[in-house]
């Protein structure tokens, strides 16, 4: 863990029921390559299992794992914190729910999974590896919500995040800024295709979003909402992957 990472999204996990199909999908849509690592005490279920790292060139910012029985398919973003256990305890006091108590990932760090007061799933982490914040693969997270307001107190207390005015000329959503003033997320109001009132969606950087959407359609997957935002001329389009996980394509 480094102080520079505090309050930033430092990793993503994709839980999928068909890892090979998901790998093929993101290789086609985002151009990712993969590296398989063998875990002797796997974080998702224990025992000896393979874990797939997703890379953009030499940057590793995501991992693919088979969905454990107690979870559902989907992306999980992890925010770096100073103390995972203290953050989990505070989250409960602020109206959050613990999905998974703090757990060790050997050689990687300590994580936990939470739901915010609106039901959005978010991970917290202390990383013990040298991977930098993944800026080549991912842009700002998107907080997609049906609710009238972002749970600002919850995220401000946990991560020192705050709401900022949207960029000039962009009325799509609100910006969430981190401790050092960097943009962390974009809050977008719109009907979520989930049971929860809100969901965190990763922004995956691609060179040509329209071409990537066409590629996804060729694979039998269609976007659920065409081009909803255009901050700073950067196209964002939402789609479901083969396992039903939501992601957002962002023009690099």
Q: Residue 94: pLDDT above 70?
A: yes
pLDDT for the residue 101: 94
Tell me what the mean pLDDT of segment 155-169 comes to: 83
By the 10 Å C-beta count (0-12 exposed, 13-18 middle, 19+ buried), 226 is classed as exposed
Strand partners, 77: 12
Q: Which two tokens stand for residue 9?
A: 């999204």
- Domain CATH number, residue 169: 3.10.180.10
Each residue's pLDDT tens digit, 102-133: 998 877 889 999 999 999 999 999 988 777 88
Tell me what the mean pLDDT of segment 173-200 comes to: 84
pLDDT for the residue 6: 94
Q: What's the domain range around 203?
A: 3-251
Among 129, 96, 174, 143, CA closest to 5: 129
* Torsion, CA 65, CA 71, CA 72, CA 78, rounded to 10: -60
Residue 48 contacts residue 40 (beta carbons within 8 Å): yes
Q: Residue 180: pLDDT above 90?
A: no
Q: What is the pTM of this model?
A: 0.89
Q: DSSP assignment, residue 161? A: -
DSSP letters for 176-233: EE-TTS-EEEEEEES--SSSSSEEEE-EEEES-HHHHHHHHHHTT---SEEEEE-GGG
Q: Residue 137: pLDDT above 90?
A: yes
pLDDT for the residue 229: 37
- Output the CA–CA distances (angstroms, integers) from residue 17 to 36, 49, 133, 243, 245, in the order listed: 17, 15, 27, 6, 10
Q: Residue 45: pLDDT above 60?
A: yes
β-sheet with 109-115: strand ranges across: 33-39, 49-56, 59-66, 9-16, 74-80, 121-127, 109-115, 97-105
Q: Residue 25: pLDDT above 50?
A: yes
pLDDT for the residue 148: 83
Domain count, the chain: 1
Q: How far apart are CA 60 and CA 162, in angstroms?
A: 28
pLDDT for the residue 35: 93
Each residue's pLDDT tens digit, 9-19: 999 999 999 99
């Amino acid at each position: 863990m480094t102080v520079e990472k505090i309050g930033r999204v430092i990793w993503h996990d994709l839980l999928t029921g068909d890892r090979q199909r998901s790998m093929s999908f993101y290789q086609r849509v985002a151009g990712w390559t993969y590296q398989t690592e063998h875990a002797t005490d796997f974080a998702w279920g224990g025992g000896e299992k393979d874990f797939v790292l997703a890379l953009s060139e030499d940057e590793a910012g995501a991992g693919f794992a088979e969905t454990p029985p107690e979870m559902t398919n989907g992306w999980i973003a992890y925010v770096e914190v100073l103390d995972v256990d203290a953050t989990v305890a505070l989250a409960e006091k602020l109206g959050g729910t613990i999905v998974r108590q703090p757990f060790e990932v050997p050689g990687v760090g300590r994580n936990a999974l939470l739901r915010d007061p609106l039901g959005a799933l978010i991970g917290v982490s202390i990383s013990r590896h040298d991977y930098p914040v993944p800026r080549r693969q991912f842009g700002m997270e998107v907080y997609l919500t049906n609710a009238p307001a972002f749970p600002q107190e919850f995220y401000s207390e946990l991560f020192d995040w705050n709401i900022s005015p949207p960029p000039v000329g962009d009325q799509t959503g609100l910006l969430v800024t981190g401790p050092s003033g960097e943009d962390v997320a974009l809050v977008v109001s719109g009907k979520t295709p989930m049971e929860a009132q809100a969901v965190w969606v990763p922004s995956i950087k691609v060179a040509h979003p329209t071409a990537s959407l066409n590629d996804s359609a060729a694979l039998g997957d269609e976007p659920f909402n065409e081009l909803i935002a255009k901050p700073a001329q950067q196209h964002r389009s939402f789609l479901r992957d083969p396992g039903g996980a939501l992601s957002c394509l962002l023009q690099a």
